[in-house]
Amino acid sequence: MSGVRVNTRNRMNRWWRGASGSYVVMIAMGAFTQSAIATERVDFARDVQPIFAQHCVECHGPEKQASALRMDRRTNLLRGGDSAEPAIVPGDAGASYLLTRLRDPNPEKRMPYRRPPLAEDEIAIIERWISEGADWPGAEHEEDANVGASHWSLQPIQPLEPPTPSRPEWVRNAIDAFILAKLDEVGLEPSPEADRVTLIRRLCFDLHGLLPSDDLYQRYLNDRREDWYERLVEELLASPRYGERWAQHWLDVVRYGETSGFEVNTPRENAWPYRDYVIRAFNEDTPYDRFILEQLAGDAVGVHEATGLLVAAPANLPGQIGQDLASMLGARQDELAEIVTTIGAAYMGLTLHCARCHNHKFDPITLKDYYSLQAIFAGVYYDDRQIPDARDPVRLRELLTQYDHTAAQLQSLGAREPVNGRLNVESFTPRQVRFVRFTAERTNSGLEPCIDELEIWSVATGDAQSRNVALASAGAKATASGTMPNSDIHRLEHINDGMYGNGRSWISNELGRGWVQIELAEPTVIDRIIWGRDRDGVYGDRLALTYRIEVADDDGVWHTVADSQLRLPQDASAREAWLADAPADRREQIAQLTQRMEALTHELLQVVPPRRVFAGTFREPGPWHRLYRGDPMQKREEVQPDIPEIFGTLGLSSDTPEQQRRVALARWLGRKDNPLTARVMINRIWQHHFGTGFVDTPGDFGRMGTQPSHPELLDWLAYTFMERGWSIKNMHRLIVTSSTYRQAAVPHTRGLAVDSQSRLLWRYPARRLEAEPIRDSILQASGVLNLTMGGPGFNAFKPNDNYVRIYEPREDFGPGEWRRMIYMHRVRMEKDGVFDDFDRPDAGQVCTQRVRSTTALQALNLLNSTFMMQQSRLFAERLQREMGEDVERQITRAFQLLYGRSPEREELDAGMELVRSHGLVAFCRAIFSTSEFLMIP
């Protein structure tokens, strides 16, 4: 590949080198004959240009570009107009759309439009000119402006020095130097630093989306150390509350939703692991280039749920799509268009979706580019994918404890539950091992034994959780006595791929017997082995009834840790017979405990079903094509999976497996010479700290987007971002510790007159909080915020299972619904009845920036909803609990909690009057509706 930098010029030079042979100077000066043309090369300036000038350029020239086509420049003819059919293909007259239209038998389509057609000898000249390579002397100097290659955001990101500040004492880091230089230009001065309460509240809202806690106020209001502020920033960034706040910004962009959208809007029950992934990625400060890779190709790097990004958009369910071919192909194109749109908005800041039906009107993206990019994702389908090794560890631990306890009771009576076709747990005393071998000696059907997954669980130590160390992705290696040959679904590597079911299983090549062995990456202390024949419960044959499990450490000495000796017969009548033989005093107990074990196994299967995540499924797509005007019924030439040509090429082919395509794109996006990736992300980070980005069209860095307010600072930050390992937290540190960020928000007339929006940042731009921090902060103030992280979301709507879902907001709430709003089951389009009206995006279209409106419905929701009435009561109870019946203290406490300050005399008096007349709940209901609470200061 030729690098990321824009290389149109190079390409053009290549064409010209190829066409620079000698051409015969034509002697005949007057009218020339066909035979003259046939023997001599056509001269563009003499023979072709006059035809264009006379017939074409009036409508397709510098003044007017009908159908976005210009015929006064070669680059534009090569690119084509709206149709994206190349008007000329040098050397290939047959593929040149210009000739098709000049000779179109339909007079409404034939060019020149509604005028007499060109004479056939004129068309023949053009045809010859094209066949001879379409020489156009001077075209190598054509400004490429029409395709926007020189646009600022496509230029490389260069290192640069911050300007020398006019007020060095104000400058805390390079950001301030850049900001100050711009302020100097318009004669504004930065505002003084905000007071400490404001700074603490600003940081908490910004980084956590929550109010500061009592504890935080206490520690940081009285901290006399120089670096109290930096310490606070570190503390906030280290908290998991940070990820819950900043993940939402990302989820907006990719319009993460947990329903299908459209009319049925069916829940995607398994979508939430992607939400948890994003939260975790922010909390762990996953380097941004890695973040991209995981989301585009997590299946290749063991972070499976991350590919939820690819399928985050709405998509019609198969049953809601017309059964005719056009409808089905069209729906598939819509699905893929969503993916391309997401990639464009999230990573590239390019409106790639604009090139679905025609060449991009403003940016250097052609229709062909669009379908090349689409080919990268052509194998992605909107569906659940079974993914390895991702469980609910807490619930699992609970169940396993009960399971072990019951199993031990049963064993003390000399029995074990029968072998289970789906799931068997073998627990033993922890020991360090390197090898684990499962040997089958007899199966129920007499056929070759089958195991779908052999899991080996390590013992939790310190920070390390118990995990399945048998996985190939954990570095373990599988060997076996033999494997049934020639099967796609029964393969040795399936024994430890983390995938369940008959379709991902190992089968021995010997009737009734065989062994499979796992070599761990390193000696590990383990205490549990879990295995099954078919976790899905579809197949029950080939089940090993007599078996043993042995382990060995590096010394190679084998020890048996589990076997089938005490197992009760699997067959029911045989079991009855066995029980009948058992001592009478134990019979009943054994039967009961066996039943209990069966129930527990069943529950385990509920908790750890084969994990399905709505993260897309993948298939090899086959050849891919450009579609004429985006119409799936009109395929044009084949395209290769690739990035837009202006950026070079990924060098892939139609044969490249689809996963590798996604990996290649991710790697390209993460390259440091990619001009867009870092700029777009830095802009996004800045936007969430200050309300507006340098570029206030954060999804569009193309020519329709705005120029950055501080281009040098944007580039300096983008460069620094990459140099410091793509660490997002590092960028937060840099930004929030700047003097720029620490300014007061109070406006003054002069600043308002010069720069009303404070885009130059002469003050901190205060603004209303978004829906999530409002809701979360209310719960926090009333003292009921439930900080349970992760897992399935809570539901804001009443239960409903109509096949077209009806979403009626619920009216009863308890601790389950008092989790942070990011954990609210994300129903597309529908509103939760209280907070969605605060401009929370509907997850229908990409949202790179929320709008902010103020409406009467917001007022009504905050005043009258059952949710808010309940919170007002809970808040009042808290105030009474903490402050007793002293109204003044109650009000003061409320002000402290919500505003971080004490009430002024008038505020207190009016508040006390309200409480005395109408009760504390009325006061609490009021204060939740106030601007001071609802604003990031």
Partner 1 sequence: MDSMASKQPTVIGQRLMDRRSFLGSSIMGLGGIALTQLLATQGLLGATSKGPLRPSIDPARPHAARKPHFAPRARNIIMLFCSGAISHLDTFDYKPELIKRDGQPMPGADKLVTFQGENGNLQMSPWKFRPRGRSGKMTSDLLPYLGELVDEMCFIHSMTSKTNTHGPGENFLSTGFTLDGFPSIGAWVTYALGSENQSLPAFVAIPDPRGVPQASVNNWGPGFLPAVFQGTAFNATKPIRNLASPVPGNVDRATRDYIQMLNRRHAERYPGDTELAARIASYELAARMQLSVPEVTAIDNEPAHILQMYGADSTDKLKAGFARNCILARRLVERGVRFVQLFNGAYAMGEGVGNWDAHRILKDQYEVHGPILDQPAAALLRDLKQRGLLEETLLVFCTEFGRMPTFQKGASGRDHNPEGFTVWLAGAGVKRGFSYGATDPFGYKAVENVVTMHDFHATILHLLGLDHERLTYYNNGIERRLTDVHGHVIRDILA
Restricting to residues 670-729, which ones interact with partner 1 according to CB under 8 A? 692, 696-697, 699-700, 702-707, 709
Measured distance CA(742)–CA(416) in Å, rounded: 66
Adjacent-strand bridge partners of 384: 614
The minimum distance between CB 289 and partner 1, in angstroms, equals: 24
Which residue from 149, 561, 934, 936 is in contact with partner 1, where contact means CB under 8 A? 934
**Ranges within 408-447 binding partner 1 (CB under 8 A):** none
Q: Which residue has the tokens 């919500």?
A: 898
The yes or no reply on residue 860 touching partner 1 (CB under 8 A) is: yes
The yes or no reply on residue 302 touching partner 1 (CB under 8 A) is: no
Which residue from 828, 875, 894, 900 is in contact with partner 1, where contact means CB under 8 A? 828
Among 104-112, 256-264, 573-581, 610-618, the segment contacting partner 1 (CB under 8 A): 256-264
Nearer Cβ to partner 1, position 474 or 766? 766
Adjacent-strand bridge partners of 476: none
Which residue from 345, 346, 613, 728 is in contact with partner 1, where contact means CB under 8 A? 345
Measured distance CA(738)–CA(690) in Å, rounded: 12
Beta pairing class for 506-507 and 450-451: antiparallel
**Ranges within 262-291 binding partner 1 (CB under 8 A):** 262-265
Nearer Cβ to partner 1, position 263 or 723? 263
Among 217-225, 258-266, 615-623, 725-733, the segment contacting partner 1 (CB under 8 A): 258-266
Beta pairing class for 544-552 and 424-443: antiparallel
The minimum distance between CB 574 and partner 1, in angstroms, equals: 50
**Ranges within 361-400 binding partner 1 (CB under 8 A):** 361-362
Adjacent-strand bridge partners of 466: none
The minimum distance between CB 932 and partner 1, in angstroms, equals: 5
Using DSSP's 3-state secondary structure scheme, residue 13 falls into: helix
Cβ-in-10-Å burial (0-12, 13-18, 19+) of 457 comes to buried
Phi, psi of 370 (to 5 degrees): -60, -50
CB–CB of 685/39 below 8 Å? no
**Ranges within 319-338 binding partner 1 (CB under 8 A):** 320-325, 327, 330, 334
Which residue from 61, 261, 388, 421 is in contact with partner 1, where contact means CB under 8 A? 261
Using DSSP's 3-state secondary structure scheme, residue 131 falls into: helix
The yes or no reply on residue 63 touching partner 1 (CB under 8 A) is: no
Nearer Cβ to partner 1, position 450 or 695? 695
DSSP 485-544: SS-SSB-GGGGGSS--SGGGBEE-SBTTBEEEEEEEEEEEEEEEEEEES-TTS---SS-E
Structure-block tokens of residue 261: 């959208």
The minimum distance between CB 323 and partner 1, in angstroms, equals: 5
In this structure, the number of other CB atoms found within 10 A of the CB of residue 912 comes to 16
DSSP 780-817: HHHT--B---SSSPB-SB-----SS---PBP----GGG
DSSP 305-362: GGGGGGG-S----GGGS-SSHHHHHHHHHHHHHHHHHHHIIIII---GGGGSSS--SS
The yes or no reply on residue 845 touching partner 1 (CB under 8 A) is: yes
The yes or no reply on residue 746 touching partner 1 (CB under 8 A) is: yes
Half-sphere exposure of 174 (CA within 13 A, CB side): 18
Nearer Cβ to partner 1, position 59 or 914? 914
Number of chain positions touching partner 1 (CB under 8 A): 109
Site string for partner 1, 766-785 (x = CB under 8 A): xxx-----------------
- Residue 550's H or E segment, with its range, is strand 544-552
**Ranges within 117-146 binding partner 1 (CB under 8 A):** none
The yes or no reply on residue 873 touching partner 1 (CB under 8 A) is: no
Q: Which residue has the tokens 């410091």?
A: 724
The minimum distance between CB 918 and partner 1, in angstroms, equals: 5
Nearer Cβ to partner 1, position 176 or 700? 700
Q: Residue 46's closest CA among 63, 29, 62?
A: 29
Q: Is the dihedral of CA 189, 195, 196, 198 positive or negative?
A: negative
Q: How many helices (H) and strands (E) does the chain have?
A: 30, 16
Nearer Cβ to partner 1, position 659 or 929? 929
Which residue from 855, 880, 882, 886 is in contact with partner 1, where contact means CB under 8 A? 855
First to last CA, the chain: 49
**Ranges within 15-44 binding partner 1 (CB under 8 A):** none
DSSP 555-566: T--EEEEEESTT
The yes or no reply on residue 846 touching partner 1 (CB under 8 A) is: yes
Nearer Cβ to partner 1, position 231 or 629? 629
Which residue from 440, 476, 879, 927 is in contact with partner 1, where contact means CB under 8 A? 927
The minimum distance between CB 95 and partner 1, in angstroms, equals: 26
Measured distance CA(512)–CA(492) in Å, rounded: 17
Which residue from 837, 875, 876, 936 is in contact with partner 1, where contact means CB under 8 A? 837
Adjacent-strand bridge partners of 287: none
Among 10-18, 239-247, 261-269, 462-470, the segment contacting partner 1 (CB under 8 A): 261-269
Nearer Cβ to partner 1, position 324 or 463? 324
Which residue from 10, 34, 653, 864 is in contact with partner 1, where contact means CB under 8 A? 864
Using DSSP's 3-state secondary structure scheme, residue 616 falls into: coil
The minimum distance between CB 696 and partner 1, in angstroms, equals: 5
Nearer Cβ to partner 1, position 350 or 652? 350
**Ranges within 178-207 binding partner 1 (CB under 8 A):** 186
Which residue from 399, 760, 774, 779 is in contact with partner 1, where contact means CB under 8 A? 760
CA–CA–CA angle 457, 459, 461 (5° rounding): 140
